[in-house]
Amino acid sequence: MQVAKLAGLPPAATQRAREVLTRLEAEADGADALGGLPLFSAPPPPKARTTSKLHQALAALDVDALSPREALDLLYELKTLK
């Protein structure tokens, strides 16, 4: 795991590798243990429950209806939202 961290792998990848290793060690016979352990099928990240003003404004936005000038003005406005 330390090598993966030093290599710059994302925390989700090292966490999934740790889960796979723990499961493999628990199933010591290991004849076909790898078949049921797809390493890259990590669970999806949890969704944020709160929506910021910025996300609300972006969700309500109709990009196709904006002129270039309106789009630029909107970008400046969205930069002020948090």
For 19-78, write each residue's pLDDT tens digit: 878 887 777 665 555 566 666 666 777 776 667 888 888 889 999 999 999 999 999 998
pTM (two decimals): 0.37
> Own/partner pairs for 38-44, CB < 8 Å, 24+ apart?
40/16, 42/12, 42/13, 42/15, 42/16
Same domain flag for 28 and 52 = no
Same domain flag for 79 and 59 = yes
Residue 77 within a domain: yes
Domain count, the chain: 2
Residue 37 has what pLDDT? Answer: 60
Q: How far apart are CA 69 and CA 72, in angstroms?
A: 5
Same domain flag for 53 and 23 = no
What residue numbers bound the domain in which 59 lies? 47-82
Residue 42 within a domain: no
Same domain flag for 54 and 73 = yes
